Structure 1
Amino acid sequence: MAFELEERCIDVADVKLGMYVSRLDLPWEQTPFPLQGLEVRSLEDIDKLRELCRFVYVDARRQVIIDNVPLKILNRTELPEARFQARIGYRDEVDFAEELPRAREAMEQASTLVDRVFDDVMQGRELPVESVEQAVRPLVASVLRSADAFFWVEGLRRRDSYSYNHAIHCSVLAALFGRHMGFAEETIVSLAAGGLLMDVGKARVPAELLTHPGRPSAEEMEQIRQHVAHGLDILHASELRDADVIDIVRTHHERHDGQGYPAGLAGVEIPLAGRMLSIIDAYHSMISEHTYRPAVSRHQALRAIYAAKGTQFQAELVEQFQVCLGVYPTGSMVELTTGEVAVVLAQNQARRLTPRVVILSTPDKLALTTFQVMDLMNQPEGKPQVHIRRGLAPGEYGIDTADLFLQGGADRGVRGATAC
């Protein structure tokens, strides 16, 4: 990925497996290393560096995957205070259509690994930190390459278990929010891992409480709220030591005005990671189907979050979250002023009310089998201008975007469609 380096000079004795060496204290031509940049994959690499150099520069944002198993960054107990400083201006590095296959592959891998994580926890086994890393890293990498591709793929998924779907979507949202805020990649990985695991404690809540139709009673709600304590117990019994992930699990139900749980924390008493993920958790809960209420549109959910700024959620973070997702987030179903149903394909950063959309129906709401892409910001002059009339809830008008995913037609339509 072509992002700027975050270089740190270290003594060669401190070089470890998994580091990426970006510069040496001598010219690369005087070493046996073939390229200007060394992925430290073996003890032999370390020995050779120690033989040739006194100090080296490493890219603090880049981690090397060895034998397809990521090193465990999720055991960091001491995190730099500057990790939440916005200092990276991310831009899409690849075209949306080019990223789609990689986004889909990352989604499928994350789905498989999340199943494994929850199954291990439900069976009383230790949380598999390696599986969390392997799920999160490709997901984060895809979001950093293209802000919209992963949300297009995620928006077209067939919905299975709420817990699994919630875990993956919150993880992706955390990665996108972290990218928008300009955090370093490793900080974004921690946020994404926190999004994946913040409700892992529900694996120890009786299943009938989570699937029972109707709103839970006060007594049942108290049992459900114990998932925070269960989640912390699960993390403490594992090898995961990342302080940001633990903060997220501990505080994602706290509220800015002190009316949350379990500790009734308020304002800056809530860690920043927890404040961010509380917004994400509430947003995704609203756009998801529950046994006691239907899903609302993404646009409606954003409006509800915005209405709660300064009370439930920190106002500044709410405003950044709104800018991050756009008025009509990628993957949203919308109705156009022509009557056609469309799904938001990608944001136009200059004008957030005019994204690119894929048209799914005729003006009479009859589903199409071939798709056209329309850029609402760049419409032909001299013709009536089309706008978004309103956001739609999932499945409204009987149109299910997941059917497009199962048919495999949506990606082909996006890659092959001509703009209309």
Structure 2
Amino acid sequence: MTLEELKVAVTDLQVGMYVCRLDRPWEGTPFLLQGLMVESADDVAVLQRLCTHVYVDVERGLGRMPPSLQVVGPAATPSAVPAAPRNYENDQIAALQGTVAYPERVEFDQELDSARQAHAQAAAFAERALEEVRGGRAIAVEEVRDAIEPMVRSLVRNADAFLWLDALRARGAYEYRHALSCSALAAAFGRHVGLPEPLLLDMASGGLLLDVGKLRLPPALLASPAPYDDTQRSVMQTHVESGLALVDAAGVPAHVREMIRTHHEWIDGSGYPGRLQGDAIPLLGRIAAVIDAYDAMISTRPHRQAVAPHVALQSLYRGRGTQFAAEIVEQFMQCMGVYPIGALVELSTGEVAIVTAQNAARRLQPRVMVLTGPDKRLLTQFHSIDLLVRGHSDEPVRIAGALAPGAYGLDPVGLFL
């Protein structure tokens, strides 16, 4: 992805534009990160007070460009997405980035009930359908799409609500949990980079089926608590080929097939099964590699304990340019935030909290649910605070640091079920 900038007067700023440069240094502005997705009229107002013009990254977000500024045409809105072709070429997908702006249509609290229903439907389908695949049944592509469409629509309305529920999901079999999480993360990432909604549905379908081939491997291999030896590793790697056989029989779109085929390829050519390098790995495969690795790291598996979300992000960052595409890692980190949803954090007050929602323009100041007092004792009643608001109060509160899973004996899944 090459950076293409467009100079825009602040009077022409629109929601959905991605501001990559200002006409002044970022230092001294309210923006902690260098780069801002304009998500509200308030963002526009702040930029209009500070600047006379800004520079918009046309790959990341164009918003609804005024006719005088159109470069690739006005961005579509999620409610008026044109019908997608059945198959996309890799360069078509790259060109579609930033063509749709996704402002939050519904507040977090208002979306929770719909997100809960969509999550329950998708989770039940993932467990049932994948178990049927294990038993020899073919994949029904239309069933996959029908089951996850409510999830995608919930993520479009408010991504934080669905990701919050997924973070607190009871820990069942890793294969089913991983499939649903990868599906949600793929759609959330596609939303973040401004891809059309029909393509989000394809990405979510691909995320659900990334590791479907593992269901044809020996269960004892999947459950092994010891690191794999060379023979076991070779057998494990055949899950990609097995998965392709399953999705080929199902007739998934070509770009979804490519996403599954290349989700274990590494940028430096040391991945599998094709040892592809760099741009030879299609865009959806590069995205899937990051999503698959991230969710695997934050999940407990038979041979490895889960790590904290911020630790997983740090690992992805260290692997950029070798394992993972650098631009995908950077965009994924922006999508997830400095403190991802579901992360345990310690506040400057000494209280322990869990991140529930992001503040897009202030990644260091998310919304959190406070679980303990300063003495680390569990509260009888939890309460939510918006650190963006509290950061500007007479008694500001900030995040002092991220915590490991299970810190102070806290199990958020058990607390919220």
Under TM normalisation by the shorter chain, which class is it?
0.7 to 0.9
* Contact 1:62 1:185 (8 Å CA) reproduced: no
Q: Does 1:302 align with 2:322?
A: no
Alignment partner for residue 81 of structure 2, among 39, 61, 65? 61
Q: 1:120 aligns to what?
A: 132
Q: Which has the larger Rg?
A: 1
Counterparts of 1:255 and 1:80, CA distance in 2: 17
Q: 2:356 aligns to what?
A: 345
Q: 2:45 aligns to what?
A: none
The one-letter amino acid paired with 1:379 is R
Q: Does 1:170 align with 2:182?
A: yes
The one-letter amino acid paired with 1:284 is D
The one-letter amino acid paired with 1:362 is G
Q: 1:393 aligns to what?
A: 404
The one-letter amino acid paired with 2:208 is L
Q: 1:244 aligns to what?
A: 255
Q: Does 1:76 align with 2:86?
A: yes
TM-score (norm 1): 0.77
Q: C-alpha deviations, 1:31-79, integer Å up to 9, x for none?
A: xxxxxxxxxxxxxxxxxxxxxxxxxxxx98367xxxxxxxxx9x93465
Q: 1:9-158 residue pairs with structure 2 within 5 A?
A: 61=81, 76-77=86-87, 81-84=91-94, 85-86=96-97, 87-158=99-170
| Residue 215 (structure 1) shift | 1.1
* Contact 2:90 2:282 (8 Å CA) reproduced: no
Counterparts of 1:100 and 1:404, CA distance in 2: 17
Counterparts of 2:391 and 2:108, CA distance in 1: 22
| Residue 380 (structure 1) shift | 6.8
Distance 1:369 1:156, change over 3 A: farther
Q: Does 1:273 align with 2:262?
A: no
Q: Does 1:230 align with 2:242?
A: yes
Q: 1:317 aligns to what?
A: 328
Counterparts of 2:223 and 2:326, CA distance in 1: 33
Counterparts of 1:135 and 1:369, CA distance in 2: 37
* Contact 2:347 2:401 (8 Å CA) reproduced: yes
* Contact 2:307 2:405 (8 Å CA) reproduced: yes
Q: C-alpha deviations, 1:271-327, integer Å up to 9, x for none?
A: 000000100011111101122221111011111111111111111111111111110
| Residue 373 (structure 1) shift | 1.1
**What is the alpha-carbon root mean square deviation over aligned residues?**
2.1
Q: C-alpha deviations, 1:230-254, integer Å up to 9, x for none?
A: 100111122x331121011100000
| Residue 222 (structure 1) shift | 1.0
Q: Does 1:209 align with 2:229?
A: no
Counterparts of 2:279 and 2:392, CA distance in 1: 50
**SS at the partner of 1:76?**
coil
* Contact 2:356 2:369 (8 Å CA) reproduced: yes
- What stretches of structure 2 of length at least 5 have no aligned partner? 1-14, 17-78
Q: Does 1:195 align with 2:207?
A: yes
Once superposed, which parts of structure 1, at least 4 consecutive aligned residues long, lie more than 4 Å away? 77-81, 380-384
The one-letter amino acid paired with 1:203 is L
| Residue 405 (structure 1) shift | 2.9
Distance 1:264 1:382, change over 3 A: closer
* Contact 1:330 1:345 (8 Å CA) reproduced: yes
Deviates more, 1:291-300 or 1:278-287: 291-300
- What stretches of structure 1 of length at least 5 have no aligned partner? 5-58, 64-72, 407-420
Q: 1:355 aligns to what?
A: 366
* Contact 2:391 2:398 (8 Å CA) reproduced: no
Counterparts of 1:382 and 1:400, CA distance in 2: 30
| Residue 116 (structure 1) shift | 2.0
| Residue 135 (structure 1) shift | 2.3
Counterparts of 2:182 and 2:199, CA distance in 1: 15
* Contact 1:300 1:391 (8 Å CA) reproduced: no
TM-score (norm 2): 0.77
Distance 1:128 1:369, change over 3 A: farther
| Residue 81 (structure 1) shift | 5.0
The one-letter amino acid paired with 1:191 is M
Q: 1:37 aligns to what?
A: none
Q: 1:418 aligns to what?
A: none
Alignment partner for residue 334 of structure 1, among 340, 345, 350? 345
Q: 1:50 aligns to what?
A: none
Counterparts of 1:210 and 1:160, CA distance in 2: 14
Q: C-alpha deviations, 1:109-165, integer Å up to 9, x for none?
A: 001111122122111111122321122211110110002100111111111011111
Distance 1:314 1:381, change over 3 A: closer
**SS at the partner of 2:159?**
coil
Distance 1:121 1:338, change over 3 A: same
* Contact 1:156 1:404 (8 Å CA) reproduced: no
| Residue 381 (structure 1) shift | 5.7
Q: Percent identity?
A: 46
The one-letter amino acid paired with 2:256 is V
Q: 1:67 aligns to what?
A: none
The one-letter amino acid paired with 1:304 is S
Counterparts of 2:383 and 2:405, CA distance in 1: 20
Q: 1:358-373 residue pairs with structure 2 within 5 A?
A: 358-373=369-384
**SS at the partner of 2:388?**
coil
